[in-house]
């Protein structure tokens, strides 16, 4: 079986993952990486213009042999820039993102959508360099092109400032590549699943889609079900020591107090833990009118709005439930941008400042996100700055009782995410079940839906917008229900 650069890096990470991807691909879990792949494609397309617009693109759709033949043809017409230049040596195939084909040598430019360089990228470009040299090319330099996350768009996109380019030639170990290829081909040519145990590579550099397959024979719950910020490397260490079940861990391991509480709840089937005094102290900081706020946002790998950076969160929607007085009527307001070509944050900020008066008490769930977005938008729009920062300064986090474990039930499973807390507090309540929504059930679906809206017909837009609003409304209504639950305590 042949190798490609993606298979090579997969095997470098874990030989078992490589084998499973070839022989048992149906066991892979969908990790929802579509947006990551899409960002990678956009960054790759942009990087083709690094040396100007006069480049040659090898067509992938024509098949591997056609790609190889076209590459040979254009290599002779030097100097030029060839994108997706393709090479094969002894069953080892690769396509180079950008190949600078000079008269006496070539330079390899491997493009990544990340904002930093990781070790796996060095393995990736080492493999490509090895293949090209084996094909008889003189590789002068090898570079990694990645995103400069400090770049701020101001006018037309400046591609030379948007990208960082690092010469990694001296970091390559080509002798090691040859040995790795030999080992990986032995794995691929075997019909037997490799006997490789769990390790940190299940999580780094990427989450493995076969992780659930590899732990399916472990007792449940087990060390990998621990929440409360128990790091994955710590879990692996415990696993390696044979401390896998909760009983093993509680008797032999040192973990944080909250994780111990999670284990005890599971083993003893404890009743809900409720620290009434701490909850009361938090509630006493609330004042009316009382607002419940939630933003929806998307990330763009390539900024399209002046004043924004790569991967900055762009808010386009919010939901707002509020009480004007204690025990009063519950009201709701919402905003969803309908200007798909402008800056969605401007209209959102203007409406938000109208909907939330100055010095109001604002509840959110996980204040880090909302506070960061309000600060960024205040920097972008001086006319709303004072009001937005006032909203930010009056935020109180409704997550606190759960992150502090002042309210904990077994069904939260070591998590204080609202998607875990809500069904634990309100089991079997269809009005609070995100699965009962149409089209949009979680945050990434809301983000993707907003980006999809401009491509739809009017009727399709109308339907999708309605479902986007319902999703965001449920986020703040869920906060209201949690608040009411805390009040009853």
What DSSP string describes 391-404?
Answer: HHHTEEETTHHHHT
Phi, psi of 408 (to 5 degrees): -145, 135
| pLDDT for res 145 | 98
| pLDDT for res 85 | 97
Give the strand order in the sheet containing 290-299. 330-336, 313-323, 290-299, 361-364, 395-397
- Long-range pairs for 209-215 at CB < 8 Å and ≥24 separation? 209/28, 209/29, 209/30, 209/31, 210/16, 210/17, 210/20, 210/21, 210/27, 210/28, 210/29, 211/29, 212/29, 213/20, 213/24, 213/27, 213/28, 213/29, 214/16
| pLDDT for res 485 | 95
Find out whether 344 and 297 touch, Cβ atoms under 8 Å.
no
Q: What is the DSSP letter of 483?
A: H
Q: Which of 361, 352, 356 has its CA nearest to residue 316? A: 352
Find out whether 447 and 298 touch, Cβ atoms under 8 Å.
yes
| pLDDT for res 475 | 96
Question: Residues near 237 by Cβ (< 8 Å), separated by ≥ 6?
Answer: none
pLDDT in tens, 438-477: 999 999 999 999 999 999 999 999 999 999 999 999 999 9
Beta pairing class for 290-299 and 407-408: unpaired
Cα separation, 344 vs 469, in Å, equals 15
| pLDDT for res 308 | 95
CATH fold group of domain 5-188: Lambda Exonuclease; Chain A (3.90.320)
Beta pairing class for 92-101 and 80-89: antiparallel
Strand, coil or helix: 451: helix
Find out whether 12 and 123 touch, Cβ atoms under 8 Å.
yes
| pLDDT for res 82 | 98
Tokens of 92: 């080892």
| pLDDT for res 270 | 74
Strand, coil or helix: 339: coil
| pLDDT for res 489 | 86
pLDDT in tens, 11-28: 999 999 999 999 999 999
Q: What is the pLDDT along the chain (489 residues), one digit of tens a residue?
A: 789 999 999 999 999 999 999 999 999 998 877 777 888 899 999 999 999 999 999 998 889 999 999 999 999 999 999 999 999 999 999 999 999 999 999 999 999 999 999 999 999 999 999 999 999 999 999 999 999 999 999 999 999 999 999 999 999 999 999 999 999 999 999 999 999 999 999 999 999 999 999 999 999 999 999 998 899 999 999 999 999 999 999 999 899 999 998 999 889 877 889 999 999 999 999 999 999 999 999 998 999 999 999 999 999 999 999 999 999 999 999 999 998 888 999 999 999 999 999 999 999 999 999 999 999 999 999 999 999 999 999 999 999 999 999 999 999 999 999 989 999 999 989 999 999 999 999 999 999 999 999 999 999 999 999 999 999 999 999 999 999 999 998
Q: What length does the chain have?
A: 489
CATH of domain 273-489: 3.30.420
């Amino acid at each position: 079986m042949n190798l490609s650069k993606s298979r090579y890096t997969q095997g470098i990470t874990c030989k078992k993952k490589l084998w499973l991807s070839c022989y048992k691909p149906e066991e892979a879990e969908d990790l929802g990486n579509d947006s990551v792949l899409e960002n990678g494609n956009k960054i790759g397309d942009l990087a083709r213009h690094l040396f100007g617009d006069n480049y040659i693109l090898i067509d992938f759709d024509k098949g591997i042999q056609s790609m190889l033949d076209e590459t040979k043809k254009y290599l002779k017409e030097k100097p030029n820039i060839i994108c997706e230049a393709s090479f094969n040596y002894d069953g080892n195939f690769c396509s180079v993102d950008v190949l600078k084909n000079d008269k006496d040598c070539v330079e390899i430019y491997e493009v990544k959508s990340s904002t930093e360089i990781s070790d796996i990228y060095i393995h990736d470009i080492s493999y490509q360099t090895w293949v090209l040299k084996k094909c008889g090319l003189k590789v002068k330099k090898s570079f990694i092109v990645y995103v400069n996350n400090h770049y701020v768009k101001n006018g037309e996109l400046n591609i030379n400032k948007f990208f960082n380019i690092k010469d990694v030639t001296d970091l390559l170990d080509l002798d090691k590549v040859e040995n790795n290829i030999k080992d990986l081909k032995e794995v691929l040519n075997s019909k037997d699943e490799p006997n490789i145990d769990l390790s940190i590579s299940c999580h780094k550099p990427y989450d493995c889609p076969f992780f659930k397959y590899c732990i399916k024979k472990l007792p449940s719950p087990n060390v990998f079900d621990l929440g409360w910020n128990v790091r994955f490397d710590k879990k692996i260490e415990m696993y390696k020591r044979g401390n896998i079940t909760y009983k093993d861990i509680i008797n032999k391991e040192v973990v944080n107090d909250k994780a111990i509480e999670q284990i005890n709840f599971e083993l003893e089937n404890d009743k809900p833990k409720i620290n009434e005094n701490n909850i009361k102290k938090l509630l006493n900081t609330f004042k009316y009118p009382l607002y419940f706020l939630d933003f929806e946002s998307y990330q763009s790998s390539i900024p399209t709005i002046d004043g924004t950076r790569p991967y900055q969160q762009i808010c386009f929607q919010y939901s707002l439930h509020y009480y004007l007085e204690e025990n009063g009527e519950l009201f709701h307001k919402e905003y969803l941008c309908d200007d798909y070509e402008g800056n969605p944050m401007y209209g959102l900020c203007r409406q938000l400042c109208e909907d939330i008066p100055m010095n109001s008490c604002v509840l959110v769930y996980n204040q880090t996100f909302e506070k960061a977005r309000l600060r960024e938008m205040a920097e972008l729009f001086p006319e709303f700055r004072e009001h937005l920062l006032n909203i930010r300064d009056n935020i109180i986090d409704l997550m606190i009782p759960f992150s502090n474990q002042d309210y904990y039930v077994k069904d939260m499973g070591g998590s204080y995410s609202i998607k875990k807390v809500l069904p634990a507090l309100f089991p079997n309540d269809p009005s609070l079940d995100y699965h009962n929504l149409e089209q949009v059930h979680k945050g990434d679906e809301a983000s993707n839906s907003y980006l999809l809206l401009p491509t739809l017909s009017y009727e399709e837009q109308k339907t999708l917008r309605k479902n986007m609003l319902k999703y965001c409304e449920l986020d703040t209504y869920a906060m209201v229900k949690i608040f009411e639950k805390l009040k009853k305590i």
